Each structure stands twice: as C-alpha cells, then as structure tokens.
C-alpha cells in the first residue's frame, strides 16, 4: 500500500512516500481503509526524534495519528463494529500509521464518524478534540460562568477548545493574530487578543483556566495571571514528572522533567495556582461524545487545507510553518 513513512529520525527530507506492507489486523483491531488523515505537530516532532525520550519507534515508521475511514475487516474479538462502518479515531501512540491507504486501529480507540461530516472534516477532529475534552472537562472541570484563556485560538487545538469552552458555558478569551480574529469570534470567542501587538495580561484578569499551547514565556506569564485556585494546563511545554510516571518512564527521566518544569511549578506553588502538563490519549468513548457535539453542530470542524498522500511533504511543510488555521488534512 502507499504510505508516508520515515526510515530514520530527521528533518523534512526523511519523509518518504512509497510502498509499505499493509498492517496486520489483530483480534481487537479494525482494519480501516483510510479516507482522510490529519497532521498534528506531534507528527513532525516524532519525525525529528524529539519524542525519543518518551517513546522509541521501530523503523521504518509510517507517520500519522488521526484518521477517518471505512472498516474493511474486523478482528476475531471485535464486537461493536462491522465491515462497511465509517469510523474516525486517534491511533494509539504505540501503533501509529494513519498516512497510508490502510491502518489497523484498536476497537476501543474508534467511534462512528459523525454522519453530517465528510471524512476530511472527521479526520481533523480526534487528536485535537480529545486533547481539549480531556483537559477542559476531565482535568479542569471548566464550568459555566468561569473565565478561560485559550492560547493560539486559530490552531488545531484552539479552534476546537474555543467551541468546547462555549459548550461548557465559560467566557472565552483567546490569543490570535489579527487576520484570524473574525474566525475565532465566529467560533465563539468573547474576546480576542492580538498576540503580536498586545500583552494578554493587559486584557485578561485572573482567569479560572489557561490552556497553554506555547510553553516557555507564555506559560510563565499565564501562571503569573491565573486566579488563585485556578488551573493552568500546558500541552505545549515539557511533560511533568506525573506524566513521565504515568508512561512508566524511569526515575531519572522523571527527575529531568522536574528540573525542566521547576520555574513553572515553583511560580504556580507561590501563587496558589494548579499547574500540570497533559499528554492526550485515545478514547473511542470520549470520541463518541465528541461526535454527538459535532452532529448537533455545537462544534464545527475547521480545515485549513487538503493535500493528497503523494503531496505529504508539501502538507508537512505547510503545517510545520506554524500558521495553519485549524487542521491540515491528507487524503490517500
Ligand atoms: N500534549 C498533547 O497531548 C498535545 C496535543 C495536541 C497538541 N499539542 C501541542 O500543542 C501545540 C499546538 O498544537 P496545534 O495543533 O493547535 O498547533 P497548530 O495548529 O500548528 O498551531 C498553529 C496556529 O498557532 C498560532 N500561533 C502560533 N504562535 C502563536 C502564539 N504565540 N500565540 C497565539 N497563536 C499562535 C498560529 O497563528 P498565526 O498564523 O497567527 O501565528 C496558527 O494558527 C503544539 O506544540 C502541539 O504539539 C500537544
């Protein structure tokens, strides 16, 4: 089958578009004919080898973690899906490979594709949707009447998180450049701060929750303004020791994580702010709940651009430039 893969870690030149053997369908798996797959920053971070401390992959490695497609075969222990079902999923981190004509996904990671969405639209959702869901609903428990600051409202995560924030009843402020102001307002943002010209701390006072997608100075400045007792959750910084432990990584990596997070954790402690990193995980059950929001049109997908699989290098270059609005999608 045709796939976009790497033989070794490295820059954009390492991405190969060529033939690979089709995936095995295990007893708990669905073999899916991929109709669309979306790019996430984690794809080029894996290609670059930046996640080596967290997870090591065997080469050659087909990239891609988000897909929408049609089930063509089910494993012997699969009970909820059958051939012909249209599903979407975020693949398990140990079993990625969405940038291909076929992928094997765990039954527990899949959900039925929202009936009102195309495969391209559906493929844009799982990773960013689950990230926002797990942070805003499960971790923070964002409630009606609370104030949320979402960094990079025009990005893949941000476009979903703004809408989820409104579904949960929060007042949503977001940072975006001026050209993306109208879009993030349409998605529901109550206030837009032009991150290139303005300082967000001049416009947002004591938010109950800050969703940090940037790390570094933005994260530090976010902890500095969050409400006492409020939450700052980062997905764009360095994983905390808790995440390293959850992943079963050795003590020395947990210590390293503690050192790298020291300035964030000590400021959070001094200010009485809850701070943590979140690494999202797949969940078919949560994805089914997200599908309902999409079917009810409470949340709409935002697709920036669609590329063919044989244009995967161009698709990566476009997404990696860091200015896509919503998601970049690849079709086989
Ligand atoms: N830990 C996890 O589980 C997890 C899950 C998902 C994502 N992430 C991470 O979260 C980050 C964001 O992911 P994403 O998919 O949303 O990225 P993305 O879609 O590639 O983000 C691009 C968008 O970010 C905007 N942007 C760039 N710098 C900005 C800044 N300083 N302030 C405000 N907006 C800015 C850009 O707008 P302009 O063109 O205006 O600059 C662009 O629209 C990445 O680092 C990704 O790896 C982590």
CA distance 256 to 242: 12
Q: Quick one: which atom of ligand 1 is closest to the CA of 239? A: 1
Residue from 139, 322, 324 whose mutation best tests the ligand 1 pocket (most atoms within 8 A of CB) = 322
pLDDT digits (tens, 9 = 90+) for 106-124: 999 999 999 999 999 999 9
- Across the chain, mean pLDDT equals 98
Of the chain, the percentage scoring pLDDT greater than 70 comes to: 100
Whose CA is closest to atom 15 on ligand 1?
A: 156
CA distance 287 to 279: 16
158 ligand 1 Cβ < 6 A: yes
Q: What is the mean pLDDT of residues 210-237?
A: 98
Contact 92, 109 (CB under 8 A): yes
332 ligand 1 Cβ < 6 A: no
User: Given this model, what pLDDT does residue 115 score?
Assistant: 96
Q: Quick one: which atom of ligand 1 is closest to the CA of 151? A: 33
User: Given this model, what pLDDT does residue 7 score?
Assistant: 98
User: Given this model, what pLDDT does residue 232 score?
Assistant: 98
pLDDT digits (tens, 9 = 90+) for 269-291: 999 999 999 999 999 999 999 99
152 ligand 1 Cβ < 6 A: yes
Q: What is the mean pLDDT of residues 234-238?
A: 96
User: Given this model, what pLDDT does residue 296 score?
Assistant: 98
Class of the 2-124+301-331 domain? alpha beta
Q: Quick one: which atom of ligand 1 is closest to the CA of 280? A: 3
131 ligand 1 Cβ < 6 A: yes
Whose CA is closest to atom 22 on ligand 1?
A: 155
Read off the pLDDT band of 329 (50, 70, 90).
very high
CA distance 133 to 122: 16
Distance (angstroms) between ligand 1 centre and the Cα of 64 equals 17
User: Given this model, what pLDDT does residue 325 score?
Assistant: 98
- Identical topology for domains 2-124+301-331 and 128-277: no
Of the chain, the percentage scoring pLDDT greater than 90 comes to: 100
242-to-142, 147, 249, 276, 331 alpha-carbon distances in Å: 21, 26, 10, 8, 37
Q: What is the mean pLDDT of residues 47-71?
A: 96
Topology of 128-277 in CATH?
A: Rossmann fold (3.40.50)
User: Given this model, what pLDDT does residue 248 score?
Assistant: 95
User: Given this model, what pLDDT does residue 209 score?
Assistant: 98
Q: Quick one: which atom of ligand 1 is closest to the CA of 175? A: 33
User: Given this model, what pLDDT does residue 123 score?
Assistant: 98
119 ligand 1 Cβ < 6 A: no
Distance (angstroms) between ligand 1 centre and the Cα of 148 equals 17
pLDDT digits (tens, 9 = 90+) for 128-141: 999 999 999 999 99
Q: Tally the residues of the chain.
A: 332
Residue from 47, 123, 152, 174 whose mutation best tests the ligand 1 pocket (most atoms within 8 A of CB) = 152
Q: Helix/strand/coil (H, E, C) string of the chain?
A: CEEEEECCCCCHHHCEEEECCCCCCCCCEEEEEEEEEEECHHHHHHHHCCCCCCCCCCCCEECCCEEEEEEEEECCCCCCCCCCCEEEEECCCCCCCCCECEEEEEHHHEEECCCCCCHHHHHCCHHHHHHHHHHHHHHCCCCCCCEEEECCCCCHHHHHHHHHHHHCCCEEEEEECHHHHHHHHHCCCCEEEECCCCCHHHCCCCCCEEEECCCHHHHHHHHHHCCCCCEEEECCCCCCHHHHHHCCCCHHHHHHHHHHCHHHHHHHHHHCCEEEECCCCCCHHHHHHHHHHHHCCCCCCCEEEEEEHHHHHHHHHHHHCCCCCCEEEEEC
User: Given this model, what pLDDT does residue 311 score?
Assistant: 98
CA distance 309 to 303: 16
42 ligand 1 Cβ < 6 A: yes
User: Given this model, what pLDDT does residue 143 score?
Assistant: 98
39 ligand 1 Cβ < 6 A: no
User: Given this model, what pLDDT does residue 26 score?
Assistant: 97
Q: At what angle do helices 262-271 and 251-260 cross, to 10 degrees?
A: 60
Q: Is 181 exposed, middle or buried (0-12, 13-18, 19+ CB in 10 A)?
A: middle
Residue from 38, 39, 41 whose mutation best tests the ligand 1 pocket (most atoms within 8 A of CB) = 41
Distance (angstroms) between ligand 1 centre and the Cα of 1 equals 31
Q: What is the mean pLDDT of residues 31-48?
A: 98
Q: What is the mean pLDDT of residues 59-67?
A: 98
User: Given this model, what pLDDT does residue 89 score?
Assistant: 98
Contact 35, 28 (CB under 8 A): no
323 ligand 1 Cβ < 6 A: yes
Distance (angstroms) between ligand 1 centre and the Cα of 236 equals 8
- List the domain boundaries for the chain: 2-124+301-331, 128-277
Instruction: Give the global pTM.
Output: 0.98
Side by side, the strands of the sheet bearing 231-234 are 191-194, 171-176, 147-150, 209-212, 231-234, 274-277
Half-sphere exposure of 173 (CA within 13 A, CB side): 22
Residue 288 burial (CB count, 10 A): 13
Nearest residue to 302 via CA among 132, 87, 142: 132
User: Given this model, what pLDDT does residue 1 score?
Assistant: 98
Q: Which two tokens stand for residue 54?
A: 């967290």
Contact 312, 4 (CB under 8 A): yes
Contact 105, 30 (CB under 8 A): yes
């Amino acid at each position: 089958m045709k796939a976009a893969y790497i033989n070794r870690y490295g820059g954009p030149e390492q991405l190969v578009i060529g033939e690979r053997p089709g995936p095995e369908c295990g007893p708990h798996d669905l073999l899916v004919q991929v109709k669309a797959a979306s790019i996430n920053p984690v794809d080029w971070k894996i290609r670059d080898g930046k996640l080596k401390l967290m997870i090591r992959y065997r080469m050659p490695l087909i990239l891609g973690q988000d897909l929408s497609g049609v089930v063509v075969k089910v494993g012997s222990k699969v009970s909820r899906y059958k051939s012909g079902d249209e599903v979407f999923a975020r693949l398990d981190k140990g079993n990625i490979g969405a940038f291909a004509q076929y992928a094997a996904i765990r039954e527990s990671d899949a959900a039925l594709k929202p009936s009102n969405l195309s495969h391209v639209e559906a493929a844009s959702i799982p990773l960013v949707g689950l990230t926002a869901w797990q942070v805003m609903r499960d971790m923070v428990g964002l409630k009606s009447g609370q104030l949320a600051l979402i960094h990079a409202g025009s990005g893949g995560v941000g476009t979903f998180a703004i809408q989820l924030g409104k579904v949960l009843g929060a007042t949503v402020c977001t940072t975006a450049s001026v050209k993306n102001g109208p879009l993030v307002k349409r998605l529901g943002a109550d206030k837009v701060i032009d991150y290139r010209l303005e300082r967000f701390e001049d416009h947002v006072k004591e938010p109950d929750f800050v969703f940090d997608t940037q790390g570094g100075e933005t994260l530090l400045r976010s902890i500095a303004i969050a409400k006492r007792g409020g939450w700052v959750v980062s997905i764009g910084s360095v994983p905390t020791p808790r995440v390293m432990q959850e992943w079963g990584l050795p003590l020395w990596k947990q210590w390293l994580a503690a050192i790298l997070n020291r300035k964030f954790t000590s400021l959070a402690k001094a200010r009485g702010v809850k701070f943590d990193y979140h690494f999202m995980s797949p969940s078919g059950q949560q994805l089914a709940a997200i599908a309902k929001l999409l079917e009810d049109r409470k949340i709409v997908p935002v697709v920036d651009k669609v590329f063919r699989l044989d244009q995967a290098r161009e698709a990566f270059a476009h997404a990696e430039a860091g200015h896509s609005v919503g998601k970049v999608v690849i079709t086989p």
